[in-house]
């Protein structure tokens, strides 16, 4: 998987909106497929027009590291999931709660070009991840 630092650098070289969307779809192709057992109603993200699943795997402790996995049935959304996972997965719960991924998507030049439905779905994914992380803070 491409790291968030690499994604940020790559987006810096892309001036054209179509190039950015192609790169988002490439990132989605790199995303490992979510096992069928994790494609449950509980893991499905509400508020997304496409089907999106996110699963959380917290480690032990008062501020656990949380590993995330996700998937979508739509190519562009799958790429957005890949960016969200690069931003949040493997971080401590407190870092996840504090991190503003919407600002990240703005810096990458993506948020202003997403349709209202995709932007709402993105916000739903981020909110879900941050809420999950907050539940694991002791």
**Residue 21 is part of which domain span?**
4-33+43-136
Which of 7, 48, 84, 104 is labelled catalytic?
Answer: 48
pTM for the structure as a whole = 0.94
For residue 48, the model assigns a pLDDT of: 82
59 lies in a domain?
A: yes
58 lies in a domain?
A: yes
Q: For the segment 114-132, what is each residue's pLDDT rounded down to a tens digit?
A: 988 999 999 999 999 999 9
38 lies in a domain?
A: no
For residue 113, the model assigns a pLDDT of: 87
For residue 75, the model assigns a pLDDT of: 93
16 lies in a domain?
A: yes
For residue 15, the model assigns a pLDDT of: 87
pLDDT mean values, one per 10 residues, the chain (138 residues)? 92 92 96 95 91 96 96 95 97 96 93 90 95 91
Active-site residue flag, 48: yes
The CATH number of residue 17's host domain is 3.90.1010.10
For residue 18, the model assigns a pLDDT of: 92
DSSP 40-87: -TTTBPTT-SS-EEEEEEE-SSSS-EEEEEEEESSHHHHHHHHHHHHH
Burial class (CB in 10 A: 0-12, 13-18, 19+), 120: middle
């Amino acid at each position: 998987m491409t790291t968030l630092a690499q994604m940020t650098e790559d987006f810096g070289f892309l001036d054209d909106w179509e190039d950015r969307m192609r790169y988002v779809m490439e990132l989605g192709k790199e995303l490992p497929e979510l096992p069928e057992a994790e494609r449950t109603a509980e893991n499905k993200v509400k508020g997304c027009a496409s089907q999106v699943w996110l699963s959380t795997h917290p480690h032990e402790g008062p501020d656990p590291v949380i590993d995330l996995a996700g998937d979508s049935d739509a190519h562009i959304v799958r790429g957005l999931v890949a960016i969200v996972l690069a931003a949040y997965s493997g971080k401590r719960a407190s870092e996840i709660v504090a991190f503003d991924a919407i600002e990240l998507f703005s810096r990458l030049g993506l948020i202003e070009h997403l349709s209202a439905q995709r932007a709402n779905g993105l916000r739903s994914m981020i909110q879900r991840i941050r809420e999950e992380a907050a539940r694991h803070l002791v």
